[in-house]
Structure 1
Amino acid sequence: MILNEEQQMLADLSERLFADKASVDTLRAIRGGRHDADYDTALWQAMVESGLTGILVPEAHGGMDFGLVSAGLVARETGRRLALTPFLSTAVLGAIAIGRAGHAEQQKQWLGPIAEGSLIVALAIDETGKHRPERVATQANAEGDAVTISGEKTLVVDGPNAGLFVVSAMHDGKPALFAVEAADSGVTVNAVTSIDTRSMANVRFDNAKAQRLDANDNAFDDVLNAGRAMLAMELVGLSRAVFERTLTYLTERKQFGLRIGAFQALQHRAAHLSVEIEISEAMAFQALAAFDAGAADATQQILAAKARAADTARLAAAEGVQMHGGMGMTDEFDIGFFMKRARAASELLGDANFCTERFAQAKGY
């Protein structure tokens, strides 16, 4: 991917900001209950001040409107640093949902706070342990101009901190997106912690007041596509970080008087992983560009990129742990944290099997 001048500046900014502000030590602190929040508040504030939280918000609402390729550059750094922030849920999924499906008043109400970082948005669509967006039991009921939502959503990323939920519910016989304020008396949030220390929640809606997001019939697909493309880039960044750390270890660790990086078997495996990462990154960038261009096959490209990136991240994590030896599974090394995030991010919005199956269906198989 050849970045234009604006994108290259953003890539450099993101790399510097995350290198300076993000640390696996913060994840360790949050995991151990030694942090005052369940996400990296200092990093999030730095992202706000740098304008990254408004990267997909139109300029009219205080954002930069740089497109998904640019957002992917940020996502790649979140993967490299295992950053715990609401970037995916709010700056990407929330901004896409409100920006593409909300009418003018809804955009005015919520897009500005998203860009300012004062509003955290959580996407609530799944109702089981696996991602099946078409299986929606949650119901939307309309009485005059009033709409209420009833149902339960599981494993809602950033749910405990959300001020607004974007919820899928059945309406007129098909799924649609609705916005529900977290402060509504009909909303019950039960916090859970995922294996990768991400903040999640099971959320119940009991006749909660809702606003329908219906300015664009394709918005639901757009939100899912944007999220999967972001996760593909995050997984690429994660894979690169594991690869870099593992290479460093191979040049330092000695066995039989030799650095283990001198062993040909490990060199072959490292070379194979390097090629897989390059291919996955190229596919992810192509998918992001297809989304921005509104390409007819954008969905297929995104599904392929997410599936490939998920497989590559799991390979990178497995190789990283094994090349570190038994110590790779201990908290003394960070590799185990990357392995947990690889698994969780691969599952989010559809694992490799899900994406591969949907890709095949789209191709007519």
Structure 2
Amino acid sequence: MDFDLTDEQRMLKDSVERLVKDEYSFEQRARYLAEPEGFSRAQWARYASMGLLGLTFDEAFGGSGCGPVETMIVMEAFGRGLVAEPYLATVVLGGSCIRLGGSVAQREAILPHIADGSLLMAFAHAEPQSRYDLADVAASARRDAKGWLLDGAKRVVIHGGSADRLIVSARVSGARRDRAGIALFLVDANAPGLTRRGYLMQDRLRAADIDLSGVRVTDDDVIGVAGEALPLIETVVAQAIAALCAEAVGSMAAAYEETVAYLKVRKQFGVAIGSFQALQHRAVDMLVMVEQARSMALFATMMSAEQDVAERERSMSAAKVQIGQAGRFVGQQGVQLHGGIGMTEECKVGHYLRRLSVIDILFGAAEHHLTQLASAGGLIDAAA
């Protein structure tokens, strides 16, 4: 299989990496995080002007018609810069829900505005009791003469506090963990009966808890067929996992480079500590883990659009296991090799560890996916 990038993909990679290098220094990122929404609207507009926000949308809807490889390229560069803007929430999660499951009218109404940077979205699916079970939905949607009324609670909605519109999952029938009976709704973030409580996560990015009490939506706000949304949710989450794997590789690679650079300048006993063989071995172990993670991120990217659901789920679990374990190792080693300054706010490597820790938890930690993978018989079917 040919893993070489096309000329267009290499141009995209060069332009995004240059943007991150020029516009996302550690000091600039701190200023963006201090802005009211926790990210830079100016940077968001710049992503729009570069075509990054509509990368995977059809050209008819203001996009470029690209695929998961281009998303991987962007997310890896964003991982290097610890980019704070809501690309995952708006483009990968929200945009993919509409791109893959929305009606023509919904795609025409929403995708061009995501692409031009004027619309922010968030995916409100996780609930207090759901843990990592995508089918565990207790929020309800009941039908009346005017449409639908939504009730329930959603938790850890990434960038939910700044979103203009939310994609909310709710149950229209069945028991709480039934696979059937789940629907997705487009909801205005300022709709009556909807309340948001924003907060900082461990990695200093923003999330929100959202409560719905009699929030009214119409039939035009239903994404796809009411009661049959779980396959769409699983597909979108698989693509989000692949994107997060790529982001994690960018963060790990940058953390490794920061650590090696520090080993070359930090002196002890009159020599650079990078000359100590034991520390050289630890740096090599970091590099090995980065490269293993890179391979699994490529694998996740290829398998994110796999039509065989069981095969796709095994692949995503395997990628999450490898990425989670590698991220933990690289982040912790980077902090330890920096010594006492590693976890200070002024040291970048500690921020990489924080982001890698959050990436591990999103959509299932490594331990959860290891259990899922074991239950499914492993990544490779032994009988085959």
TM-score (ref. length: structure 2): 0.90
* 1:248 corresponds to which of 253, 261, 267: 261
Task: Give the CA deviation at 1:361.
Answer: 3.1
Task: Give the CA deviation at 1:253.
Answer: 0.9
Distance in 1 of aligned mates of 2:371 and 2:186: 30
Q: Which residue in 1 is equivalent to 2:185?
A: 178
Question: Does residue 1:213 correspond to 2:227, yes or no?
Answer: no
The amino acid across from 1:41 in the alignment is R
The amino acid across from 2:334 in the alignment is G
Greater mean deviation of Cα atoms: 232-241 or 144-153: 144-153
The amino acid across from 1:328 in the alignment is G
Q: Which residue in 1 is equivalent to 2:177?
A: none
Q: Which residue in 1 is equivalent to 2:161?
A: 160
* 2:322 corresponds to which of 308, 313, 329: 308
Q: Which residue in 2 is equivalent to 1:84?
A: 84
Q: Which of 1 and 2 has higher RCO (CA within 8 Å, sep 6+)?
A: 1
Determine if contact 1:131/1:347 at 8 Å carries over to the other structure.
no
Distance in 2 of aligned mates of 1:4 and 1:181: 39
Count of equivalent residues: 363
Q: Which residue in 1 is equivalent to 2:356?
A: 342
Q: Which residue in 2 is equivalent to 1:114?
A: 114
Q: Which residue in 1 is equivalent to 2:237?
A: 224
Determine if contact 1:21/1:42 at 8 Å carries over to the other structure.
no
TM-score (ref. length: structure 1): 0.94
Distance in 2 of aligned mates of 1:38 and 1:286: 32
Please list the CA deviations of residues 185-222 of structure 1 after superposition, one character each: whole Å capped at 9, or x if unmatched. Answer: 12111111111111111101112123221257521111
Determine if contact 2:245/2:320 at 8 Å carries over to the other structure.
yes
The amino acid across from 1:230 in the alignment is A
Q: Which residue in 1 is equivalent to 2:178?
A: none
Task: Give the CA deviation at 1:14.
Answer: 1.1
Q: Which residue in 2 is equivalent to 1:98?
A: 98
Determine if contact 1:62/1:112 at 8 Å carries over to the other structure.
yes
Question: Does residue 1:325 correspond to 2:329, yes or no?
Answer: no
**What SS does structure 2 have at the residue aligned with 1:118?**
coil
Determine if contact 1:27/1:197 at 8 Å carries over to the other structure.
no
Please list the CA deviations of residues 324-355 of structure 1 after superposition, one character each: whole Å capped at 9, or x if unmatched. Answer: 11111222311111111111121111111122
Determine if contact 2:123/2:168 at 8 Å carries over to the other structure.
yes
The amino acid across from 1:251 in the alignment is K
Please list the CA deviations of residues 245-294 of structure 1 after superposition, one character each: whole Å capped at 9, or x if unmatched. Answer: 00000111111122111111111111111111111111111221222464
Q: Which residue in 1 is equivalent to 2:303?
A: 290
The amino acid across from 2:16 in the alignment is S
Task: Give the CA deviation at 1:358.
Answer: 2.4
Q: Which residue in 2 is equivalent to 1:17?
A: 19
Determine if contact 2:160/2:198 at 8 Å carries over to the other structure.
yes
Q: Which residue in 2 is equivalent to 1:44?
A: 44
* 1:267 corresponds to which of 276, 280, 285: 280
* 2:8 corresponds to which of 6, 12, 15: 6
Distance in 2 of aligned mates of 1:15 and 1:79: 10
Question: Does residue 1:353 correspond to 2:367, yes or no?
Answer: yes
**What SS does structure 2 have at the residue aligned with 1:150?**
strand
Task: Give the CA deviation at 1:295.
Answer: 5.7
Task: Give the CA deviation at 1:306.
Answer: 2.0
Q: Which residue in 1 is equivalent to 2:210?
A: 203
The amino acid across from 1:199 in the alignment is R
Please list the CA deviations of residues 45-85 of structure 1 after superposition, one character each: whole Å capped at 9, or x if unmatched. Answer: 21111000011211110011211111111111111111101
Question: Does residue 1:139 correspond to 2:146, yes or no?
Answer: no
Determine if contact 2:289/2:330 at 8 Å carries over to the other structure.
no
Distance in 1 of aligned mates of 2:44 and 2:198: 20
Q: Which residue in 2 is equivalent to 1:276?
A: 289
Distance in 2 of aligned mates of 1:191 and 1:37: 10
The amino acid across from 1:133 in the alignment is L
Q: Percent identity?
A: 33
Distance in 1 of aligned mates of 2:83 and 2:237: 21
The amino acid across from 1:240 in the alignment is A
Distance in 2 of aligned mates of 1:295 and 1:262: 50
Determine if contact 2:37/2:162 at 8 Å carries over to the other structure.
no
Q: Which residue in 2 is equivalent to 1:194?
A: 201
Task: Give the CA deviation at 1:302.
Answer: 2.0
Distance in 1 of aligned mates of 2:300 and 2:20: 24
Distance in 2 of aligned mates of 1:222 and 1:100: 9
Q: CA RMSD in A?
A: 1.9
The amino acid across from 1:196 in the alignment is D
Structure 2 alignment gaps of length 5 or more: 175-180
**What SS does structure 2 have at the residue aligned with 1:54?**
coil
Q: Structure 2 vs 1, CA of residues 30 and 11 (structure 1 numbering), >3 Å: closer, same or farther?
A: closer
The amino acid across from 1:213 in the alignment is I
Distance in 1 of aligned mates of 2:29 and 2:135: 33
Determine if contact 1:304/1:356 at 8 Å carries over to the other structure.
yes
The amino acid across from 2:157 in the alignment is V
**What SS does structure 1 have at the residue aligned with 2:84?**
coil
